[in-house]
Chains A and B, each alone.
Chain A
Amino acid sequence: MVEIRGVSRRFPGGHFGVRGVTLDVHKGETLVIMGPSGSGKSTLLRCVNGLETLDEGEIIIDGMRVNHDTTDWNKVREEVGMVFQGFHLFPNRTALMNLVLPQTVVRKRPVAEAERNARTLLDRVGLAGKESRYPSELSGGEKQRVAIARALAMNPKIMLFDEPTSALDPEMILEVLEVMRGLAREGMTMLVVTHEIGFAREAAQRAVFLDEGVLVEAGPAKELIDHPETSRCRAFMQRILRRPEGEEGKAWT
């Protein structure tokens, strides 16, 4: 579904965001990307939908080869949904209109159909009754669920999540993870950058560990978290697993 081949992204100043990463994501799979901050997790994710350009390598999404110069990114992005750490809802539009706008603009759906879709999706993420709220009138967890629904409104084949719960208060994390678990169960192909160990262990088939832009270790999610093979990955897991009792679900950055 997504084939990432030797992808590098250099930043101004010469240091690498990601370096020579090769990774396949299979259809219907949930793959978690973990690693310390600054390790290139987000950069890798952003390469997949062209928010970052590639300096080397190539990415093939659902058979479409995307190399920065010749790619119709608008076409690619229609198939690839993205959820951001900071939600990025349109603040001047209601929850419903946040979902309607991209459908009418990009998919050219009639407003009535777009609204029907939007209501169904908001209901599915547990936000029925909040259609006419503006983002500023929603809690963080609600905002992120609207953002997920907005991405889903485009009927993407792949969903990218860039630390979707890192900006949330602890009590709101579970409601967002619950929505993501539901998606994973339904067979959505998902690439998730997260530190949520619980989610990674239960909902993800595979996990990869990135450090300093390099893919250090990959494997079944449970294995990678509980029995990391490399010392760097082990050190990282120890650090984030050393969490106090009763703080299940807290964001770790």
Chain B
Amino acid sequence: MYTWHWEQIPQYFPLIAAATRRTIEISLVSIVFAIAIGAVAGLLRVQPLKPLRFLAAAYVELLRNIPLMLVLYLIYFGMGAFWPISPFWASVVGLSIFEGAYVAEIVRAGIQSVDRGQMEAARSLGMSWLQGMRHVIVPQAVRRSLPPLTGQFVSLVKDSSLASLVSYEELMLVGRQINSRIFSPFEVFLTIGALYFVICLALSLLSRWMEARLVGP
């Protein structure tokens, strides 16, 4: 019979709070970089120059077909051997380039979902490819891409738990540390799970609110 020891948890609240903050920090910073990387790679995949298109495709396919854990190990233990890198930045770099590949695919799909005639109309009015992208295509693509992007960012928050493997003290790692002291896995990991849930749900709600604001007819 499992004996519950919820009373053991409150003493670790300060520790858990700090870990929650780190999970949020690493996620937000990685989301920003993943958007930047994904936007560039996604645009490169639809622009007219073939070599650049190939380069972007290679990046996307490579990163989508290897595990995130391996990416993190390569950065922290592999490259870290030459250029010392903090667990925070190793995790941010790993998460950003890994999730960036998925963001790139969402960006590409969003752009390609806009009718070809839109770019032709923009071009026929004298806009350059870049102007057409910026003023005509991207604003339409962003609205359509928001739901899949949200899903990706929720994934990113959950994937940030792997940062525990390169010794970044986020929620997952701190959970493991606490559990090794009090041996109450359900109490500890349910608490941690609830925190992940709240963070991800907040992210989804934020995106739904943005989506509603972006909607025109």
Q: Within the complex, which residue of B115, B118, B143, B217 is in contact with A134, where a contact is CB–CB below 8 Å? A: B217
Residues of B within 8 A of A112 (CB): none
Residues of B within 8 A of A74 (CB): 126-128
Contact B124 A81 (CB under 8 A): yes
Write the nearest CB–CB distance from B212 to chain A, whole angstroms.
15
Q: Is B123 among interface residues, defined by CB-CB distance under 8 A? A: yes
25 contacts between A and B (CB under 8 A): A51-B124, A75-B126, A77-B123, A77-B125, A80-B124, A82-B121, A82-B124, A84-B120, A84-B124, A88-B115, A88-B117, A88-B118, A88-B121, A89-B121, A91-B140, A92-B140, A92-B216, A101-B136, A102-B125, A105-B135, A106-B125, A106-B127, A150-B125, A151-B124, A151-B125
Residues of B within 8 A of A151 (CB): 124-125
Q: Nearest A residue to B129 by beta-carbon distance?
A: A74
Q: Within the complex, which residue of B117, B126, B140, B143 is in contact with A102, where a contact is CB–CB below 8 Å? A: B126
Q: Is B139 among interface residues, defined by CB-CB distance under 8 A? A: yes
The distance in angstroms between the C-alpha atoms of A50 and B120, with both chains bound, is: 10
Q: Nearest B residue to A106 by beta-carbon distance?
A: B126
Chain B interface residue count, Cβ-Cβ cutoff 8 angstroms: 20
Contact A102 B127 (CB under 8 A): yes
Write the nearest CB–CB distance from B118 to chain A, whole angstroms.
6
Interface positions, chain A 137-172, Cβ under 8 Å from B, are 137, 147, 150-151, 154
The distance in angstroms between the C-alpha atoms of A25 and B127, with both chains bound, is: 25
Contact B217 A154 (CB under 8 A): no
Q: Nearest B residue to A137 by beta-carbon distance?
A: B217
8 closest A-B pairs by beta carbon, nearest first, are A88-B121, A78-B126, A82-B124, A88-B117, A102-B125, A106-B126, A134-B217, A77-B126
Q: Within the complex, which residue of A90, A92, A137, A154 is in contact with B126, where a contact is CB–CB below 8 Å? A: A154
Write the nearest CB–CB distance from B115 to chain A, whole angstroms.
7
- The range of chain A's interface size is 20 to 34
Residues of A within 8 A of B126 (CB): 74-75, 77-78, 102, 106-107, 154
Q: Nearest B residue to A76 by beta-carbon distance?
A: B126
The distance in angstroms between the C-alpha atoms of A84 and B131, with both chains bound, is: 20
Residues of A within 8 A of B131 (CB): 105-106
Write the nearest CB–CB distance from B210 to chain A, whole angstroms.
15
Residues of B within 8 A of A92 (CB): 139-140, 143, 216
Residues of B within 8 A of A86 (CB): 117
Write the nearest CB–CB distance from B113 to chain A, whole angstroms.
13
Interface positions, chain A 26-85, Cβ under 8 Å from B, are 49-51, 73-75, 77-78, 80-82, 84
Q: Nearest B residue to A91 by beta-carbon distance?
A: B140
Q: Nearest B residue to A89 by beta-carbon distance?
A: B121
Which of A89, A91, A150 gathers most chain B CB within 10 Å? Answer: A91
Contact A51 B115 (CB under 8 A): no
B61-81 interface code vs A (CB 8 A; 1 in, 0 out): 000000000000000000000
Q: Is A136 among interface residues, defined by CB-CB distance under 8 A? A: yes
Interface positions, chain A 95-152, Cβ under 8 Å from B, are 101-102, 105-107, 134, 136-137, 147, 150-151
The distance in angstroms between the C-alpha atoms of A150 and B135, with both chains bound, is: 15
Write the nearest CB–CB distance from B83 to chain A, whole angstroms.
43
Residues of A within 8 A of B143 (CB): 92
Residues of B within 8 A of A134 (CB): 216-217
The distance in angstroms between the C-alpha atoms of A150 and B126, with both chains bound, is: 12
Contact B121 A90 (CB under 8 A): yes
Known: A84-B117, A102-B126, A106-B131. A90 touches B136 (CB 8 A): yes
B190-214 interface code vs A (CB 8 A; 1 in, 0 out): 0000000000000000000000000
Interface positions, chain B 70-125, Cβ under 8 Å from A, are 115, 117-118, 120-125
The distance in angstroms between the C-alpha atoms of A68 and B57, with both chains bound, is: 28
The distance in angstroms between the C-alpha atoms of A101 and B125, with both chains bound, is: 10
Residues of B within 8 A of A49 (CB): 124
Write the nearest CB–CB distance from B167 to chain A, whole angstroms.
47
The distance in angstroms between the C-alpha atoms of A73 and B120, with both chains bound, is: 12
